[in-house]
């Protein structure tokens, strides 16, 4: 006998670091005040899901934070969404009231920002249960479930005509890369850009730089297979640090006459932050970090790199105001101004979700879209 409003459905539950997910029946609580319950339609796998699965210790847990879906039911006080609305989930939300949300300078919402404890923002509880025991959330989204509950501030309503099996990519990775180039670096026409890490996020940053008129985009990755598809996203030249017998920053400084205008760190290896700073030019060279480190998060660099005028900028979700801006990015996709479909390298059924984890771990995909 279920509590009123509870539904049961299938979810992929992680029971331990690096252990294959188990698809099983979960109970999903009804949406609480200011929450909505979503029927997840598609969810793509992001490197951060794999990173957290491999390195964190909060289990059992339902991962997934890059998703599209349809509103199934709404909680008390919800006026902004109705059953049937199409939404993208937001791993970092927007309350529209706090100091961050009311400033146009940033997007780190103080109420609905990145949730790291595996619970819901509003009551510090979970909405998932397996055999009566609570299951932790991920980023207050947990999209590896046929149904999930999110705060209204952690969902963006999108155009009904937009294909949910593609726009799920705009829920995290692709939006983050484009935003890093446009909002954070503000790449200018004719500039030289270096992208460290040619996964989906790095290639989205490359696309953003290209659309701004960058004249030279150099892609760097230790996996030569990453070079294959890089050109269609704007990368002009590929460098593999493993093929070089001098430091990559030295090569970049030489071929760019002193360093790049902009570098983007999209690997999550903190030592690459230093390399990126060393690869941008004196005076105005700017490094933007997008990668999410799995291990030791400390960075080190010679202070002289800053004394000579470089800037190091961090970003979360490409600086986008998630609820306000993401629907507009969906329109830009519908108008064919940005590439999204091209990032989908694999379409998988929900039952095959562990294959998506293997592909991401092995650096063999850009984005796997999981169809629920």
Residues that bind ligand CXF (CB under 6 A): 46, 48, 91, 114, 139, 172, 292
Nearer to ligand CXF, 179 or 234 (CB): 179
Segment near Zn ion (CB under 5 A); pick from 166-174, 182-190, 257-265, 341-349: 166-174
Segment near Zn ion (CB under 5 A); pick from 46-54, 68-76, 100-108, 341-349: 46-54
Contact 180, 167 (CB under 8 A): no
Q: To the nearest whole angstrom, how small is the minimum distance from the Cβ of residue 66 to ligand CXF? A: 7
Q: To the nearest whole angstrom, how small is the minimum distance from the Cβ of residue 13 to ligand CXF? A: 18
Q: Are strands 155-157 and 86-89 parallel, antiparallel or unpaired?
A: antiparallel
Nearer to ligand CXF, 63 or 128 (CB): 63
Q: To the nearest whole angstrom, how small is the minimum distance from the Cβ of residue 257 to ligand CXF? A: 35
Single residue of 23, 36, 45, 46 touching Zn ion by CB under 5 A = 46
H-type alpha helices, 182-321: 200-211, 248-255, 270-279, 304-307
DSSP state of 16: S
If one asks whether residue 89 binds Zn ion (CB under 5 A), the answer comes out as: no
Residue number, nearest CB to ligand CXF: 48
Q: To the nearest whole angstrom, how small is the minimum distance from the Cβ of residue 329 to ligand CXF? A: 16
Among Zn ion, ligand CXF, none, what binds residue 87 when CB lies within 5 to 8 Å by partner kind? none
Q: Whole-angstrom Cα distance, residue 80 to residue 33?
A: 13
**Cβ neighbour number for residue 59 with a 10 Å cutoff:** 15
DSSP state of 181: I
* Residue 236 phi, psi dihedral angles, 5° rounding: -95, -35
Q: Are strands 155-157 and 22-28 parallel, antiparallel or unpaired?
A: unpaired
Nearer to ligand CXF, 114 or 222 (CB): 114
Q: Which helix (H) or strand (E) holds 266?
A: none
Contact 235, 217 (CB under 8 A): yes
Q: Are strands 367-371 and 344-349 parallel, antiparallel or unpaired?
A: parallel
Among Zn ion, ligand CXF, none, what binds residue 292 when CB lies within 5 to 8 Å by partner kind? ligand CXF
If one asks whether residue 172 binds Zn ion (CB under 5 A), the answer comes out as: yes
If one asks whether residue 42 binds Zn ion (CB under 5 A), the answer comes out as: no
Q: How many residues bind Zn ion (CB under 5 A)?
A: 3
Q: To the nearest whole angstrom, how small is the minimum distance from the Cβ of residue 261 to Zn ion? A: 27
Single residue of 29, 34, 43, 48 touching Zn ion by CB under 5 A = 48
Q: To the nearest whole angstrom, how small is the minimum distance from the Cβ of residue 349 to ligand CXF? A: 23
Q: Omega before 60 cis (within 30°)?
A: yes
Q: Whole-angstrom Cα distance, residue 364 to residue 241?
A: 19
Beta bridge partners of 289: 265, 314
């Amino acid at each position: 006998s279920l509590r009123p409003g509870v539904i049961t459905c299938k979810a992929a539950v992680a029971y331990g670091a690096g252990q294959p997910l188990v698809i099983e029946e979960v109970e999903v609580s009804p949406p609480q005040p200011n929450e909505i319950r979503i029927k997840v339609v598609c969810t793509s796998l992001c490197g951060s899901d794999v990173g957290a699965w491999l390195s964190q210790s909060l289990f059992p847990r339902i991962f997934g934070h890059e998703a599209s879906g349809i509103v199934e039911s709404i909680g008390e006080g919800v006026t902004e969404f109705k059953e049937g609305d199409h939404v993208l989930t937001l791993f970092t939300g927007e309350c529209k009231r706090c100091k961050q949300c009311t400033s146009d300078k940033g997007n780190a919402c103080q109420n609905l920002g990145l949730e790291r404890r595996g619970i819901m923002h509003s009551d510090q509880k979970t909405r998932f249960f397996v055999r009566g025991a609570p299951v932790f959330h991920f980023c207050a989204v947990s999209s590896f479930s046929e149904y999930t509950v999110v705060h209204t501030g952690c969902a963006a309503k999108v155009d009904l005509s937009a294909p949910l099996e593609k726009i799920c990519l705009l829920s995290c990775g692709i939006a983050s890369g484009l935003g890093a180039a446009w909002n954070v670096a503000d790449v200018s026409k004719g500039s030289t850009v270096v992208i460290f890490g040619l996964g989906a996020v790095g290639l989205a940053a490359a696309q953003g730089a290209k659309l701004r008129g960058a004249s030279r985009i150099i892609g760097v990755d230790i996996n030569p297979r990453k070079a294959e598809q890089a050109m269609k996203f704007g990368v002009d030249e590929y460098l593999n640090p493993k093929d070089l017998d001098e430091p990559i920053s030295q090569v970049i400084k030489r071929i760019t006459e002193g360093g790049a205008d902009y570098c983007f760190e999209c690997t999550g290896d903190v030592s690459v932050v230093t390399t990126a700073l060393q690869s941008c030019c004196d005076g105005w060279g700017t490094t933007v970090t997008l990668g999410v480190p799995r291990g030791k998060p400390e960075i080190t660099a010679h202070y002289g790199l800053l004394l000579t005028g470089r800037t190091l900028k961090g970003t979360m979700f490409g600086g986008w105001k998630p609820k306000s801006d993401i629907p507009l990015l969906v329109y830009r996709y519908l108008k064919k101004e940005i590439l999204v479909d091209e990032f989908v390298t694999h379409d998988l059924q929900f039952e095959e979700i562990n294959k998506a984890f293997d592909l991401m771990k092995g650096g063999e995909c850009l984005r796997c879209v999981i169809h629920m």
